[in-house]
Structure 1
Protein backbone atom coordinates (compact mmCIF):
# COMPACT_ATOMS: atom_id res chain seq x y z
CA UNK A 1 0.00 0.00 0.00
CA UNK A 2 1.32 3.45 -0.88
CA UNK A 3 0.29 6.80 0.54
CA UNK A 4 0.47 10.42 -0.43
CA UNK A 5 0.61 13.32 2.01
CA UNK A 6 -1.32 16.50 1.26
CA UNK A 7 -1.65 19.82 3.09
CA UNK A 8 -5.08 20.26 4.67
CA UNK A 9 -5.75 23.31 2.48
CA UNK A 10 -5.72 21.04 -0.60
CA UNK A 11 -8.13 18.41 0.76
CA UNK A 12 -11.86 18.49 -0.10
CA UNK A 13 -13.97 18.90 3.06
CA UNK A 14 -16.17 15.98 2.02
CA UNK A 15 -13.16 13.65 2.41
CA UNK A 16 -12.48 14.90 5.95
CA UNK A 17 -15.97 14.17 7.27
CA UNK A 18 -15.64 10.47 6.37
CA UNK A 19 -12.50 9.95 8.48
CA UNK A 20 -12.93 7.92 11.69
CA UNK A 21 -10.00 7.01 13.92
CA UNK A 22 -12.20 5.88 16.79
CA UNK A 23 -11.51 9.00 18.88
CA UNK A 24 -14.20 11.61 18.37
CA UNK A 25 -12.09 14.60 19.42
CA UNK A 26 -9.50 13.72 16.73
CA UNK A 27 -12.18 13.16 14.09
CA UNK A 28 -13.84 16.46 14.97
CA UNK A 29 -10.56 18.35 14.89
CA UNK A 30 -9.83 17.13 11.36
CA UNK A 31 -13.28 17.90 9.96
CA UNK A 32 -14.07 21.12 11.84
CA UNK A 33 -10.92 22.90 13.02
CA UNK A 34 -7.83 21.83 11.09
CA UNK A 35 -8.36 24.07 8.07
CA UNK A 36 -9.11 27.13 10.19
CA UNK A 37 -6.05 26.48 12.35
CA UNK A 38 -3.95 26.17 9.19
CA UNK A 39 -5.37 29.41 7.79
CA UNK A 40 -4.64 31.21 11.07
CA UNK A 41 -1.14 29.75 11.28
CA UNK A 42 -1.87 27.97 14.58
CA UNK A 43 -0.96 24.51 13.32
CA UNK A 44 -0.26 22.78 10.04
CA UNK A 45 -2.18 19.61 9.27
CA UNK A 46 -1.12 17.04 6.70
CA UNK A 47 -3.51 14.36 5.49
CA UNK A 48 -2.51 10.93 4.17
CA UNK A 49 -4.44 9.32 1.33
CA UNK A 50 -4.27 5.76 0.08
CA UNK A 51 -4.27 4.71 -3.58
CA UNK A 52 -8.11 4.76 -3.55
CA UNK A 53 -8.01 8.47 -2.61
CA UNK A 54 -9.41 7.82 0.86
CA UNK A 55 -8.13 9.53 4.02
CA UNK A 56 -6.13 7.02 6.05
CA UNK A 57 -4.66 9.37 8.66
CA UNK A 58 -3.28 12.77 9.49
CA UNK A 59 -0.96 14.72 11.73
CA UNK A 60 -0.75 18.31 12.90
CA UNK A 61 2.42 20.21 13.77
CA UNK A 62 2.57 23.34 15.92
CA UNK A 63 5.30 25.36 17.56
CA UNK A 64 5.85 25.01 21.27
CA UNK A 65 8.39 25.46 24.01
CA UNK A 66 9.49 23.39 26.95
CA UNK A 67 10.21 24.96 30.32
CA UNK A 68 13.57 24.00 31.76
CA UNK A 69 12.06 22.54 34.94
CA UNK A 70 10.12 19.91 32.94
CA UNK A 71 13.23 18.49 31.29
CA UNK A 72 14.62 15.35 32.94
CA UNK A 73 17.95 16.02 34.66
CA UNK A 74 19.95 13.82 32.30
CA UNK A 75 18.82 15.93 29.31
CA UNK A 76 19.43 19.36 30.79
CA UNK A 77 23.18 19.25 30.09
CA UNK A 78 24.21 22.47 28.44
CA UNK A 79 20.67 23.77 27.99
CA UNK A 80 19.90 27.29 29.17
CA UNK A 81 17.47 27.71 32.06
CA UNK A 82 14.74 29.30 29.97
CA UNK A 83 12.06 27.84 27.67
CA UNK A 84 13.52 25.67 24.90
CA UNK A 85 12.16 25.97 21.32
CA UNK A 86 10.25 22.88 20.29
CA UNK A 87 7.81 21.53 17.75
CA UNK A 88 4.72 19.66 18.90
CA UNK A 89 3.12 16.78 17.09
CA UNK A 90 -0.23 18.14 18.17
CA UNK A 91 -2.28 15.33 16.68
CA UNK A 92 -1.61 12.08 14.89
CA UNK A 93 -4.43 9.71 13.95
CA UNK A 94 -4.97 6.65 11.76
CA UNK A 95 -8.33 5.43 10.48
CA UNK A 96 -9.66 2.82 12.90
CA UNK A 97 -10.02 0.11 10.24
CA UNK A 98 -6.35 0.55 9.28
CA UNK A 99 -4.70 0.75 12.68
CA UNK A 100 -1.83 -1.70 13.19
CA UNK A 101 -0.82 -1.66 9.51
CA UNK A 102 2.17 0.70 9.73
CA UNK A 103 0.35 3.88 8.77
CA UNK A 104 1.09 5.50 12.14
CA UNK A 105 4.78 4.72 11.70
CA UNK A 106 4.68 6.22 8.19
CA UNK A 107 2.90 9.35 9.45
CA UNK A 108 5.42 9.75 12.26
CA UNK A 109 8.28 9.43 9.77
CA UNK A 110 6.67 12.10 7.56
CA UNK A 111 6.29 14.38 10.58
CA UNK A 112 9.96 13.83 11.45
CA UNK A 113 11.04 14.77 7.92
CA UNK A 114 9.11 18.04 8.14
CA UNK A 115 10.42 18.75 11.64
CA UNK A 116 14.04 18.26 10.60
CA UNK A 117 13.47 20.65 7.68
CA UNK A 118 12.07 23.26 10.08
CA UNK A 119 15.07 22.73 12.38
CA UNK A 120 17.39 23.57 9.48
CA UNK A 121 16.00 27.11 9.28
CA UNK A 122 15.07 27.93 12.86
CA UNK A 123 16.02 27.10 16.42
CA UNK A 124 14.40 23.84 17.41
CA UNK A 125 15.58 21.40 20.06
CA UNK A 126 12.72 19.13 21.14
CA UNK A 127 9.92 17.27 19.41
CA UNK A 128 7.09 16.93 21.88
CA UNK A 129 3.83 15.05 21.99
CA UNK A 130 0.99 14.84 24.48
CA UNK A 131 -0.14 11.26 24.07
CA UNK A 132 -3.50 9.76 24.80
CA UNK A 133 -3.55 6.82 27.22
CA UNK A 134 -4.24 4.61 24.18
CA UNK A 135 -1.26 5.93 22.20
CA UNK A 136 1.48 6.24 24.81
CA UNK A 137 2.93 2.80 24.00
CA UNK A 138 3.15 3.85 20.32
CA UNK A 139 5.32 6.85 21.19
CA UNK A 140 7.37 4.90 23.73
CA UNK A 141 8.03 2.26 21.06
CA UNK A 142 9.62 4.96 18.87
CA UNK A 143 11.85 6.21 21.66
CA UNK A 144 9.89 9.13 23.06
CA UNK A 145 10.84 9.90 26.67
CA UNK A 146 8.52 11.14 29.42
CA UNK A 147 8.92 14.65 30.72
CA UNK A 148 9.37 15.05 34.46
CA UNK A 149 6.09 14.79 36.38
CA UNK A 150 3.98 14.68 33.20
CA UNK A 151 2.33 11.32 32.74
CA UNK A 152 1.43 11.58 29.03
CA UNK A 153 3.88 14.22 27.76
CA UNK A 154 6.85 12.91 25.82
CA UNK A 155 9.84 14.22 23.90
CA UNK A 156 12.68 13.38 21.57
CA UNK A 157 15.50 15.68 20.61
CA UNK A 158 15.65 16.83 17.02
CA UNK A 159 19.26 15.64 16.98
CA UNK A 160 18.15 12.09 17.84
CA UNK A 161 15.75 12.09 14.90
CA UNK A 162 18.29 13.69 12.56
CA UNK A 163 20.87 10.99 13.38
CA UNK A 164 18.30 8.22 12.92
CA UNK A 165 17.34 9.62 9.51
CA UNK A 166 21.00 9.72 8.44
CA UNK A 167 21.05 6.12 9.54
Structure 2
Protein backbone atom coordinates (compact mmCIF):
# COMPACT_ATOMS: atom_id res chain seq x y z
CA UNK A 1 0.00 0.00 0.00
CA UNK A 2 1.32 3.44 -0.89
CA UNK A 3 0.88 6.82 0.78
CA UNK A 4 0.68 10.30 -0.63
CA UNK A 5 4.10 11.96 -0.77
CA UNK A 6 3.07 14.65 1.71
CA UNK A 7 0.63 15.46 4.45
CA UNK A 8 -2.34 17.59 3.43
CA UNK A 9 -4.91 19.52 5.43
CA UNK A 10 -7.76 17.30 6.61
CA UNK A 11 -10.84 17.58 4.40
CA UNK A 12 -13.91 15.54 5.28
CA UNK A 13 -15.10 15.61 1.67
CA UNK A 14 -11.88 13.89 0.50
CA UNK A 15 -10.65 11.93 3.53
CA UNK A 16 -12.39 9.18 5.47
CA UNK A 17 -11.82 10.81 8.85
CA UNK A 18 -14.51 8.75 10.60
CA UNK A 19 -12.88 5.39 9.77
CA UNK A 20 -9.50 6.23 11.33
CA UNK A 21 -8.54 3.82 14.13
CA UNK A 22 -5.24 4.21 15.95
CA UNK A 23 -6.26 2.14 18.96
CA UNK A 24 -6.74 5.24 21.14
CA UNK A 25 -10.44 6.24 21.15
CA UNK A 26 -9.75 9.86 22.17
CA UNK A 27 -7.41 10.32 19.21
CA UNK A 28 -9.89 8.71 16.81
CA UNK A 29 -12.76 10.80 18.18
CA UNK A 30 -10.78 14.03 17.80
CA UNK A 31 -10.12 13.38 14.12
CA UNK A 32 -13.69 12.25 13.42
CA UNK A 33 -15.53 14.97 15.33
CA UNK A 34 -13.32 17.95 16.05
CA UNK A 35 -10.38 18.30 13.65
CA UNK A 36 -12.28 19.90 10.77
CA UNK A 37 -14.54 21.89 13.11
CA UNK A 38 -11.50 23.29 14.95
CA UNK A 39 -9.94 24.27 11.62
CA UNK A 40 -13.09 26.18 10.65
CA UNK A 41 -13.01 27.95 14.02
CA UNK A 42 -9.33 28.83 13.62
CA UNK A 43 -8.32 26.87 16.74
CA UNK A 44 -5.91 24.39 15.18
CA UNK A 45 -4.86 22.80 11.89
CA UNK A 46 -4.83 19.07 11.22
CA UNK A 47 -2.78 17.45 8.47
CA UNK A 48 -3.37 13.90 7.27
CA UNK A 49 -1.37 11.39 5.23
CA UNK A 50 -3.83 9.82 2.78
CA UNK A 51 -3.44 6.29 1.45
CA UNK A 52 -3.22 5.95 -2.33
CA UNK A 53 -5.71 3.44 -3.68
CA UNK A 54 -6.74 2.40 -7.19
CA UNK A 55 -10.37 2.18 -6.04
CA UNK A 56 -10.26 5.68 -4.60
CA UNK A 57 -12.00 7.48 -7.45
CA UNK A 58 -15.50 7.22 -6.00
CA UNK A 59 -14.66 7.03 -2.31
CA UNK A 60 -12.84 9.05 0.31
CA UNK A 61 -9.16 8.37 0.93
CA UNK A 62 -8.19 6.31 3.94
CA UNK A 63 -5.92 8.12 6.42
CA UNK A 64 -2.64 6.49 7.46
CA UNK A 65 -1.60 9.13 10.03
CA UNK A 66 -2.38 12.63 11.22
CA UNK A 67 -1.09 15.46 13.38
CA UNK A 68 -2.59 18.70 14.71
CA UNK A 69 -0.84 21.94 15.59
CA UNK A 70 -2.14 24.96 17.47
CA UNK A 71 -0.75 28.25 18.70
CA UNK A 72 -0.47 28.55 22.45
CA UNK A 73 1.27 30.49 25.19
CA UNK A 74 3.02 29.52 28.39
CA UNK A 75 4.05 31.59 31.37
CA UNK A 76 7.70 32.54 31.42
CA UNK A 77 8.31 30.88 34.80
CA UNK A 78 7.47 27.44 33.35
CA UNK A 79 10.10 27.63 30.60
CA UNK A 80 13.32 25.83 31.51
CA UNK A 81 15.78 28.24 29.89
CA UNK A 82 18.51 30.68 30.76
CA UNK A 83 17.34 33.10 28.09
CA UNK A 84 16.06 36.38 29.50
CA UNK A 85 12.40 36.49 28.50
CA UNK A 86 9.62 39.02 29.10
CA UNK A 87 7.32 38.58 32.08
CA UNK A 88 4.22 38.01 29.96
CA UNK A 89 3.14 34.72 28.33
CA UNK A 90 5.51 33.42 25.67
CA UNK A 91 4.21 32.01 22.36
CA UNK A 92 4.77 28.33 21.53
CA UNK A 93 3.50 25.82 19.00
CA UNK A 94 1.42 23.09 20.58
CA UNK A 95 1.73 19.66 18.99
CA UNK A 96 -1.83 18.85 19.99
CA UNK A 97 -2.30 15.42 18.35
CA UNK A 98 -0.26 12.81 16.52
CA UNK A 99 -1.54 9.34 15.61
CA UNK A 100 -0.97 6.46 13.20
CA UNK A 101 -3.70 4.15 11.91
CA UNK A 102 -3.49 0.74 13.64
CA UNK A 103 -2.88 -1.22 10.41
CA UNK A 104 0.15 0.93 9.51
CA UNK A 105 1.99 0.74 12.83
CA UNK A 106 5.49 -0.70 12.66
CA UNK A 107 6.21 1.04 9.34
CA UNK A 108 7.94 4.10 10.89
CA UNK A 109 4.96 6.32 10.08
CA UNK A 110 5.00 7.66 13.64
CA UNK A 111 8.52 8.92 13.06
CA UNK A 112 7.62 10.37 9.65
CA UNK A 113 4.57 12.08 11.15
CA UNK A 114 6.56 13.53 14.06
CA UNK A 115 9.33 14.86 11.82
CA UNK A 116 6.75 16.36 9.46
CA UNK A 117 4.91 18.03 12.36
CA UNK A 118 8.13 19.48 13.78
CA UNK A 119 9.24 20.75 10.37
CA UNK A 120 5.81 22.32 9.85
CA UNK A 121 6.20 24.05 13.24
CA UNK A 122 9.50 25.57 12.10
CA UNK A 123 7.98 26.54 8.75
CA UNK A 124 5.07 28.31 10.45
CA UNK A 125 7.43 30.10 12.83
CA UNK A 126 9.68 31.20 9.99
CA UNK A 127 6.60 32.44 8.09
CA UNK A 128 5.69 34.79 10.92
CA UNK A 129 3.96 32.81 13.69
CA UNK A 130 6.28 33.57 16.62
CA UNK A 131 7.10 30.60 18.83
CA UNK A 132 9.97 29.85 21.18
CA UNK A 133 9.37 26.10 21.53
CA UNK A 134 7.14 23.24 20.51
CA UNK A 135 5.35 21.75 23.50
CA UNK A 136 3.20 18.66 23.78
CA UNK A 137 1.12 16.93 26.40
CA UNK A 138 1.82 13.22 26.18
CA UNK A 139 -1.28 10.99 26.11
CA UNK A 140 0.08 7.93 27.92
CA UNK A 141 3.18 5.88 28.76
CA UNK A 142 3.32 4.37 25.25
CA UNK A 143 3.45 7.84 23.72
CA UNK A 144 6.04 8.98 26.28
CA UNK A 145 8.30 6.09 25.24
CA UNK A 146 7.87 7.07 21.60
CA UNK A 147 8.93 10.69 22.19
CA UNK A 148 11.80 9.74 24.51
CA UNK A 149 13.43 7.67 21.75
CA UNK A 150 14.30 10.88 19.92
CA UNK A 151 16.34 12.37 22.79
CA UNK A 152 15.48 15.95 21.88
CA UNK A 153 12.39 16.35 24.05
CA UNK A 154 12.82 17.62 27.59
CA UNK A 155 10.32 17.79 30.43
CA UNK A 156 8.60 21.15 30.29
CA UNK A 157 7.43 21.31 33.90
CA UNK A 158 7.49 18.99 36.87
CA UNK A 159 4.99 16.90 34.93
CA UNK A 160 6.94 14.23 32.97
CA UNK A 161 4.00 13.99 30.54
CA UNK A 162 4.53 17.56 29.31
CA UNK A 163 7.49 17.86 26.96
CA UNK A 164 9.13 20.58 24.88
CA UNK A 165 11.82 21.09 22.30
CA UNK A 166 13.31 24.51 21.49
CA UNK A 167 12.63 25.87 18.03
CA UNK A 168 16.37 26.44 17.44
CA UNK A 169 16.92 22.67 17.94
CA UNK A 170 14.22 21.86 15.38
CA UNK A 171 15.90 23.98 12.72
CA UNK A 172 18.61 21.29 12.54
CA UNK A 173 16.23 18.43 11.68
CA UNK A 174 16.72 17.17 8.16
Alpha carbons of structure 1 residues 122 and 33: separation in structure 2 relative to 1, 3 Å: closer
Secondary structure of 1:105's partner? helix
48-57 or 145-154, larger mean C-alpha shift: 48-57
Structure 2 residue aligned with 1:94 = 100
For residues 91-124 of structure 1, what are the alpha-carbon distances to aligned partners after superposition, in whole Å with 9 as ceiling and x for unaligned? 0000112222110111112112211111111321
Alignment of structure 1 residues 54-93 onto 2, 5 Å: 54-72=62-80, 75-93=81-99
Q: Quick check: 1:46–1:60 contact (8 Å CA) kept in 2?
A: yes
Structure 2 residue aligned with 1:7 = 9
Structure 2 residue aligned with 1:50 = 51
CA distance in 2, matches of 1:16, 1:141: 29
> Does 1:140 pair with 2:142?
no
Q: Which runs of 4+ in 1 moved over 6 A?
A: none
- Structure 1 portions without partners, runs of 5+: none
TM-score, structure 2 as length reference: 0.85
Shift of 1:84: 1.5
Q: Quick check: 1:9–1:38 contact (8 Å CA) kept in 2?
A: no
Count of aligned residue pairs for this structure pair? 162
Structure 1 residue aligned with 2:172 = 163
When the two chains are superposed, the root-mean-square deviation of aligned CA atoms in Å is 1.7
- Structure 2 portions without partners, runs of 5+: 54-60
Structure 1 residue aligned with 2:30 = 29
Secondary structure of 2:104's partner? coil
Structure 1 residue aligned with 2:39 = 38
Shift of 1:44: 0.2
Q: Quick check: 1:68–1:76 contact (8 Å CA) kept in 2?
A: no
TM-score, structure 1 as length reference: 0.88
For residues 141-161 of structure 1, what are the alpha-carbon distances to aligned partners after superposition, in whole Å with 9 as ceiling and x for unaligned? 222111121221100011100
Q: Quick check: 1:131–1:152 contact (8 Å CA) kept in 2?
A: yes
Q: Quick check: 2:76–2:86 contact (8 Å CA) kept in 1?
A: yes
More helix by percentage: 1
Q: Quick check: 1:70–1:149 contact (8 Å CA) kept in 2?
A: no
